[in-house]
Amino acid sequence: MTSTMRAAIAAIAFAIAAPAALAQGSTEKGIEAYRQALQDGNPAELWEARGEDLWKKRTGPKNASLEKCDLGLGPGVVKGAYAQMPRHFADADRVMDLETRLVWCRVNLQGMSEADAKRGPFGGPDRKSDIEALVAWITSESKGVTMAVSLDHPKMRENFELGKAIFFFRGGPHDFACATCHGEDGKRIRLQDLPNLTAKSGAQKGYTTWPAYRVSQGELRTFQWRLNDCFRQQRFPELEFGSPASIALTTFLAYNANGAAFAAPAIKR
């Protein structure tokens, strides 16, 4: 037996004998190492490439591309735009997150009906979502940019307060709020860390790493999807895509992430 093998066996024996707390610490380290390994070669790049093509492709009744879509920094400016979203858009006089702004541009620039522009926001095994691809590309153009969501406009302030109220609102069969699972440090469901989204560092990490390629689903998922899935975990009714509640929650969490460098599309288990 080589000394490496002996050391490995000793380590396993130790792990079995170790108290639960110690074993948990090493599990966390193992998961962290797995996450690091996943960062090299993120399949999200495939969604980003498709999204860039979709942005430039002429389509819809007006046979137009999205290249004149104003994401807040001027028509067609994509670089850094996501780091300042959600924001108030004067042309629509409402607060929009990226997904709802894309729907708006598809309707107003490409001439689609709102129903068509919103259709199939989340892809599955037999169908890819154009919105997920567009979001992947646009967010990738903010990688490394410091989050700077402004509450200067009164409608942004209003959205932030509404999002905060929703975050702490308890209801449903289990009387859960977002804060029930995300309001304390060190919580976990099975092997998933539950970030404390009420603390600066938790909100920064939890927000800036979406969208993400989900290894377990083989899909790239947007922030709207993330919220949707947590509504399900909370046993709340399904969150409507692009609804005022989804924009308010996104505003609350994005603002709390201010100051952190945007780091998505990421890759998650």
Chain contacts with ligand HEC (rule: CB under 6 A): 167, 176, 178, 180-182, 189, 192, 194-195, 205-206, 209, 226-227, 230-231, 233-234, 249, 253
Residue nearest to ligand HEC (CB): 178
Min. distance of Cβ 268 from ligand HEC in angstroms? Answer: 6
Extract the tokens encoding 161.
């307060």
Min. distance of Cβ 239 from ligand HEC in angstroms? Answer: 8
Q: Which amino acid is at 28?
A: E
Nearer to ligand HEC by Cβ, of 39 and 113: the residue is 39
Active site residues: 230
Min. distance of Cβ 139 from ligand HEC in angstroms? Answer: 14
Nearer to ligand HEC by Cβ, of 59 and 198: the residue is 198
- Provide Rg for the chain, Cα atoms: 21
CB-based contact 13:7 (threshold 8 Å) = no
Nearer to ligand HEC by Cβ, of 102 and 166: the residue is 166
* Nearest Cα residue to 57 out of 111, 131, 103, 110: 110
Nearer to ligand HEC by Cβ, of 104 and 167: the residue is 167
Min. distance of Cβ 74 from ligand HEC in angstroms? Answer: 29
Min. distance of Cβ 162 from ligand HEC in angstroms? Answer: 13
Burial of 148 (0-12, 13-18, 19+ CB in 10 A): middle
Q: What whole-number distance in Å separates Cα of residue 205 and Cα of residue 209?
A: 6
* Nearest Cα residue to 159 out of 86, 225, 222: 86
CB-based contact 203:192 (threshold 8 Å) = no
* Nearest Cα residue to 213 out of 200, 202, 204, 226: 226
Nearer to ligand HEC by Cβ, of 107 and 230: the residue is 230
Q: How far apart are the first and last CA of the chain?
A: 35
